[in-house]
Amino acid sequence: MATHLSVDVPDSAVGDRADRFVADASGLSRSYVQRLITAGHLTVDGRALRASSSLEAGTRLEFEVPDPEPTHDLPESIPLTVVYEDPDILIIDKPAGLVTHPAPGHPTGTLVNALLARETAEGLGSIAGRRRPGIVHRLDRDTSGLLMVARNDAAQAHLQALLKARRVKKRYLALVQGSVAAQLGRIEAPIGRDPGHRTRMAVVADGRASVTGYRVRERFAGWTLLELDLITGRTHQIRVHLASIGHPVAGDPVYATGHARRGPDSLGRLFLHAWQLELPSVDGQRLIRAEAALPPELEDVLTELRSTGEPAR
């Protein structure tokens, strides 16, 4: 059955683009929302809006999400590490190198293909579109760690609502270049497309509000291990924020340069790992906590740093 969303535009959203507002309100990807708007699925008083329309306060938006098309993605036998499971939710420990869902350049070999082999399309939430069954958020290909998956539409709507309300606690571990001065800190800087490199993100004045909290877990000569709280969830947020304060993530091929880009001698990937998730269950009766230890290739880097020099002070 098609999903109908009716939303009154608050004062805080006056002037926002229609596609961005609807994507945030629905939890759907902005590109998918744009396609639906182009097809006439977003209206005000029966009048279709454009994706670029500026919103007015008090306007009631009516948005129809049609029945999802059957998925054409194929199940693939890709090993998955499941750290939590109930009838509604899976939490997967995704390895680095695994893309979350099919996209141009990565039509197969993704987490979605692995999920289809484990769950079948009927056993996953469908409201994020046929190419993203069960998906409510994603991790970059080179980031490892915990990823939530919805096993039905009700669970997918629940998880989307929790993410929008910032009720999912997501914590990461990152090794960054240099000695981070403050033991505790908070980065508040808007993130948007880099005007000079449209395939990258950057801190820009007209970007979306973005907040990352951090605390120092361990110090090494030339490097700092941080525990990070992802308050908002923008594309490449942690990597962009840390690079913006002069402490890029070790092994980052996009936002780091020189020695930071290479990382410590034994590092062969981005040192960023989603290690903890905390969220209310779908039935509201319990708090779900999941944790994934650093993968061996990252733990080995820390072991080598501890053995080859005095910790930074």
The number of CA neighbours under 13 Å toward the Cβ of 113 is 15
Report the DSSP beta bridge partners of residue 26: none
Angle between helices 153-164 and 18-26 (to 10 degrees): 120
Q: Dihedrals φ, ψ of 111, to 5°?
A: -60, -40
Question: Could you give the C-alpha distances from 131 to 40, 42, 106, 134, 302, in angstroms and in order?
Answer: 21, 21, 12, 10, 37
Helix (H) or strand (E) holding 147: strand 144-150
The catalytic position among 16, 24, 86, 140 is 140
The number of CA neighbours under 13 Å toward the Cβ of 130 is 9
Write down the residue that tokens 């053995």 correspond to.
307
Write down the residue that tokens 């290909």 correspond to.
141
86 is catalytic: no
Sign of CA pseudo-dihedral 46, 47, 53, 58: negative
Instruction: Enter the tokens of residue 249.
Output: 């993530």
Catalytic residue IDs: 140
